[in-house]
Amino acid sequence: MSKEKVVGHPFFPHQLLLEAFAGCLIIAALLFLASYLPAALLEEADPFITPSPIFPDWYFMSVFGFLKFWVWDIGPISAKVLGVLIPGLLMGLIIVLPFIDRSPERHPLKRPIATTLGIITILVAIYFAYYAIKITLLHASAGATH
């Protein structure tokens, strides 16, 4: 059994204290901003008036764009079902991907396939988010003129 010299600091307590300190700084900054720059109150919500245009939260914007983009039925499966099912399957693939790709390499340049797929995923998500915003605003402006 060979003894190798390990260079660096142990995780506990060095890295743990560093992470705790960074977390405290973030919480202090959020408390400061919330105290001195509070969010303005808007008008009281009316459950009988639907705002136009309606947007989902930012993390669902690309899925919302894909749902608006996908308009083709495939056999007996409707376009709306596929518009929800396809992004769900792709998210499941992203969750399972670390268990499939067991490469010991960590540097992105030494993993060209994983890096390329990651960049393509980000670009597709940005495109569908842009598409969702564009098409929703277009429909809202067309509905306001009629």
- C-beta atoms surrounding 114 within 10 Å: 14
pLDDT of residue 2: 66
Give the pLDDT band (50/70/90) at residue 52. confident
Task: Output the pTM of the full model.
Answer: 0.65
pLDDT of residue 19: 94
Give the pLDDT band (50/70/90) at residue 146. low
Cβ partners under 8 Å of residue 9, min gap 6: 15
Q: What is the mean pLDDT of residues 82-91?
A: 92
- The H-or-E segment that residue 133 falls in is helix 112-145
In terms of Cα–Cα distance, which of 132, 123, 63, 112 is closest to 91?
A: 63
**d(C-alpha 129, C-alpha 89), whole Å:** 18
